[in-house]
Amino acid sequence: MVRAATEGDAVALYALLPASHRARESLEAFRARMQADREELRAFGALVRDTRVHRGPRTTVAVTHGPPVTVVEEAGGWALVSAALGTPSGATTTDTLRALHTALAQRSLGALLEVLSARTRGGLEAELTALAEATRDPSGLELSSTPFLANVRLPDGRVLVLVKENGQWRVDNILDRGDGP
């Protein structure tokens, strides 16, 4: 594990994850996440190496981004047994709350989706998909605007409220059918 982490070997690290984590995240997604966290990964490898010397064969390693990671030294090397490099395990309520905090602090939509229940995640993903589809062709949307406020009626009847801030248009609100202009 130390070699895989310090060298950024995502395939080797992925193989160390518990099966439940591999079922939730593809190798490709894991590889992309590890690439984005390359420096964190190197630091993690050094922490595991140093922790082994000072604390013994099973320990929890604090990392900069994400919940603490519990590792155990086995005959074949180190194995991950908890919150694998930012993927929430939810083994305890504390693990889940740490993962939620990390996702929110990092402003990571992917990490937030991982910590949500299947029902809530499905609802949010459906909303995101519907908004993406509704805004695919902005030229076909009904628009009414003033110099600093715009209302955009989506095909499903919802209204996007846009405001101009510092010369840039921003989405200010999404109104349900019948809630807005």
Residue type, 79: A
pLDDT tens digits along 39-71: 766 776 776 666 555 455 666 666 655 556 666
Considering only residues 92 and 179, tell me which one the structure prediction assigns the higher pLDDT.
92
Percent of the chain exceeding pLDDT 70 equals 66
- pLDDT given for residue 75 in this prediction: 63
Q: How confident is the model at residue 170 (pLDDT cuts 50, 70, 90)?
A: very high
User: How many CB atoms within 10 Å of residue 167?
Assistant: 5
- Report the predicted TM-score, pTM, of the whole model to 2 decimal places: 0.50
pLDDT in tens, 74-84: 666 656 665 44
Q: What is the pLDDT of residue 55?
A: 53
How far is 112 from 57, CA to CA, in rounded Å? 31
Domain boundaries, the chain: 2-115, 137-175
CB atoms within 10 A of CB 151: 17
What one-character DSSP code corresponds to residue 157? S
Chain segment 102-141, per-residue pLDDT in tens = 778 878 787 788 788 888 888 888 999 999 999 999 998 9
| Nearest CA-CA partner of 89 in 17, 21, 33 | 21
Res 12: pLDDT: 83
